[in-house]
């Protein structure tokens, strides 16, 4: 059903009157776990609470809410409390190491964490690999170095493959906003989003190959980010699609997401596809409330399928545009060189024009090589470990050869030398260059569009037949921040605004999203 702008605004007025709490929601709170990281740290400095007590409360919430929503893969309570005690000691000595020092966070089930098994949220792998691993994923290492209190690991779709929050190991993750217990929280980073939304932790790590951070961010009403491809190295995490996979934060505020990104981003040779340039994280801790003032944003109309959006979703979208204008932005219709409808064809056309091999973002050899590198980092006999777990993994990543024996020759072929992957990377560079030229010519600082044009369906139902812009962002490798834009008449998150920039513009898009969030203030904690 299609409606005009006047009808959409009328729908919004009725909705707003029905949901006064959503409009009035604020981040400030007397409960530290429900506030921002800055508020929590300020309370610690005042002596209102300490990291140990808050960590105990977080673990209690995990045992209650985590079980209720099937959101937790494993808790690491003793280690978390030890980290909290160490942080309190540093605070007493005036030696807090970073804004994340003493902050409760989670990692996703596909991350290695010293002392815990890595189940991948898959029942068969949990059975095949019950032993604890003896290393941390690089992002976990970086969070520990920043003083963060890592509570454990969150549930996800098996091997982070789907977008529904369905784990064969821990069960269907539930959406905490849904009183019927039937709606999906989205995935694959379902548990991370739910843990953040319900105040089990301040922030959490997730991964995104085709929306796995942004989908649950919208469906649970939190902030989710897909950073620039390669900004966050992926060592120590069960691999997915190496040329698409991007790791990033989920949080209740853009500023908190930025703090998590600042801790985990930056070059490392362990990831062959990671960026190698030095990363300056300082802008991520100094986001400005007036960042939208005088900025021109490009509204990508091709990513707003009005004819397929409900009146409620359109009303949310019109209000989001109004909030952007009220924060000082100028909005202008912008048609990028490729859109959600054309990007795949454009990648292939670019390869054909070069006389290159066809692009393949899901090319089997890079994933096979990534799987080998993953196990080579955690065991002395990676081939034996892969042989043990291969059937369960290949069931999901079924572009891989059907048997271990067929896949084995691919293990040590460097992913950077895969012809289809290299062709994909060349097409990405060409298309991003054309996007940069178009944005520069239009004077557009960033693009905006709905993260997804619909709200959460039932977990057992097929999704609406609406093509989203999620894959567009992964194929181009651009940074995207998804911010809540409002709630529907049923109390469910109804829409999120995506702010999207060019590769390397992570701090800029976070700043713009922060300014929008400050104007709109749409986050509402699940009741």
Q: How far apart are CA 294 and CA 330, in angstroms?
A: 7
The band of 14, judged by pLDDT with boundaries at 50, 70 and 90, is very low
DSSP, residue by residue, 365-394:
HHHHHHHHHHHHTT-S-HHHHHHHHHHHHH
Strand, coil or helix: what is 170? coil
- State the pLDDT at residue 398: 95
- Report DSSP state, residue 249: E
Least confident residue range of 192-201, 460-469, 471-480: 460-469
User: Look-up: residue for tokens 């853009």?
Assistant: 254
Q: How far apart are CA 250 and CA 403, in angstroms?
A: 36
Six-digit token string for 386: 């892969």
Section 29-53 average pLDDT: 95
What is the crossing angle of helices 506-520 and 254-264, to 10°?
A: 160
Q: Please, are residues 485 and 503 in contact by the beta-carbon 8 Å criterion?
A: no
DSSP, residue by residue, 88-127:
HHHHHTT---STTTT-EEEEETTB--TTS---TT-HHHHH
pLDDT for 298 beyond 80:
yes
pLDDT for 411 beyond 90:
yes
Distances (CA, A) of 453 to 102, 162, 302: 37, 19, 12
Q: How far apart are CA 518 and CA 271, in angstroms?
A: 36
Section 317-327 average pLDDT: 98
- What's the helix, strand, coil split of the chain in %, to 5? 45, 15, 45
* Number of Cβ atoms within 10 Å of the Cβ of 123: 16
pLDDT for 290 beyond 50:
yes
- % of the chain exceeding 70 in pLDDT: 94
pLDDT for 28 beyond 60:
no
The band of 221, judged by pLDDT with boundaries at 50, 70 and 90, is very high
Q: Answer whether 0.85 is exceeded by the pTM.
A: yes
For 282-329, strand residue ranges (E) read: 296-299
Q: How far apart are CA 439 and CA 461, in angstroms?
A: 38
Strand, coil or helix: what is 356? coil
DSSP, residue by residue, 448-516:
EEES-SS---BTTSPPPS---SHHHHHHHT--EEEEEEEE-TTSSEEEEEEEE--TT-HHHHHHHHHHH
- State the pLDDT at residue 342: 98
Catalytic positions: 108, 188, 212
Average pLDDT across the chain, whole number: 94
The band of 120, judged by pLDDT with boundaries at 50, 70 and 90, is very high
The band of 29, judged by pLDDT with boundaries at 50, 70 and 90, is low
Q: Where are the domains of the chain?
A: 5-334+444-520, 365-417
Q: Please, are residues 221 and 244 in contact by the beta-carbon 8 Å criterion?
A: no
Q: Integer distance in angstroms from the first to the last C-alpha of the chain?
A: 31
- State the pLDDT at residue 30: 77
* Number of Cβ atoms within 10 Å of the Cβ of 461: 11
Tell me which of 3.90.1300.10, 3.10.20.90, 3.40.50.300, 3.60.70.12 is the CATH number of domain 5-334+444-520.
3.90.1300.10
Buried/exposed code over 267-286 (b: 16+ C-beta within 10 A; e: otherwise):
ebeebbbbbeeebebeebee
Six-digit token string for 359: 């692009």
Section 52-65 average pLDDT: 98
Q: Residue 207: enclosing H or E segment and its boundaries?
A: strand 203-208
Section 117-134 average pLDDT: 98
pLDDT for 10 beyond 90:
no
Section 469-482 average pLDDT: 98
Listed residue (241, 224, 76) closest to 148, CA to CA: 76
- State the pLDDT at residue 19: 34
pLDDT tens figures, 331-370: 999 999 999 999 999 999 999 999 999 999 999 999 999 9
User: Look-up: residue for tokens 């020092």?
Assistant: 101
- Report DSSP state, residue 359: P
My answer on whether omega of the bond before 188 falls inside 30° of 0, hence cis, is yes
Phi, psi of 455 (to 5 degrees): -100, -175
Section 308-332 average pLDDT: 97
């Amino acid at each position: 059903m299609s409606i005009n702008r006047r009808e959409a605004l009328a729908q919004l007025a009725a909705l707003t009157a029905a949901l006064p709490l959503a409009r009035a929601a604020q981040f400030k709170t007397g409960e530290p776990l429900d506030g921002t990281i800055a508020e929590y740290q300020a309370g610690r400095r005042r002596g209102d609470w300490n990291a140990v007590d808050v960590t105990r409360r977080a673990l209690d919430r995990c045992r209650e809410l985590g079980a209720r929503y099937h959101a937790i893969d494993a808790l690491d309570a003793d280690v978390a409390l030890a980290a909290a005690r160490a942080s309190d000691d540093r605070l007493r000595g005036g030696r807090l190491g970073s804004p994340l020092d003493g902050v409760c966070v989670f990692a996703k089930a596909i991350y290695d964490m010293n002392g815990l098994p890595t189940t991948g949220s898959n029942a068969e792998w949990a059975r095949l690999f019950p032993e604890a691993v003896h290393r941390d994923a690089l992002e976990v290492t970086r969070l520990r170095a920043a003083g963060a209190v890592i509570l454990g690991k969150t549930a996800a779709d098996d091997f982070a493959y789907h977008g529904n929050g369905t784990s064969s190991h821990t069960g269907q993750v539930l959406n905490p906003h849904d009183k019927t217990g039937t709606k999906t929280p989205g995935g694959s980073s379902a548990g991370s989003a739910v843990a953040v939304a319900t105040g089990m932790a301040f922030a959490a790590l997730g991964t995104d190959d085709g929306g796995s951070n942004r989908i649950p961010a919208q469906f649970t009403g939190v902030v989710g980010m897909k950073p620039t491809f390669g900004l966050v190295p992926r060592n120590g995490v069960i691999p997915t699609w190496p040329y698409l996979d991007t790791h990033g934060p989920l949080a209740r505020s853009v500023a908190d997401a930025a703090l998590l990104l600042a801790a985990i981003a930056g070059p490392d040779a362990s990831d062959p596809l990671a960026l190698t340039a030095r990363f300056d994280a300082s802008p991520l801790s100094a986001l400005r409330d007036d960042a939208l003032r005088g900025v021109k944003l490009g509204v990508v109309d091709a990513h707003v399928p009005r004819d397929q959006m409900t009146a409620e979703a359109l009303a949310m979208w019109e209000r989001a545009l109004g909030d952007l204008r009220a924060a000082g932005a100028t909005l202008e219709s912008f048609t990028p060189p490729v859109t959600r409808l054309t990007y795949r064809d454009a990648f292939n056309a670019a390869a054909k024009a070069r006389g290159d091999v066809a692009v393949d973002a899901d090319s089997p050899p890079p994933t096979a090589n990534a799987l080998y590198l993953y196990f080579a980092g955690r065991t002395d006999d990676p081939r034996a470990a892969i042989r043990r777990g291969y059937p369960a993994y290949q069931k999901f990543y079924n572009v891989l050869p059907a048997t271990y024996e067929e896949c084995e020759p691919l293990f040590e072929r460097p992913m950077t030398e895969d012809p289809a992957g290299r062709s994909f990377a060349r097409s990405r560079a060409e298309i991003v260059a054309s996007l940069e030229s178009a944005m520069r010519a239009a004077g557009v600082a960033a693009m905006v569009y709905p993260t997804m044009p619909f709200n959460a369906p039932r977990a057992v139902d097929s999704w609406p037949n609406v093509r989203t812009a999620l894959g567009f962002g992964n194929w181009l490798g651009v940074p995207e921040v998804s911010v809540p834009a409002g709630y529907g008449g049923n109390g469910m998150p109804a829409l999120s605004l995506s702010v999207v920039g060019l590769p390397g513009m992570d701090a800029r898009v976070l700043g713009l999203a922060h300014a929008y969030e400050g104007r709109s203030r749409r986050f509402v904690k699940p009741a």
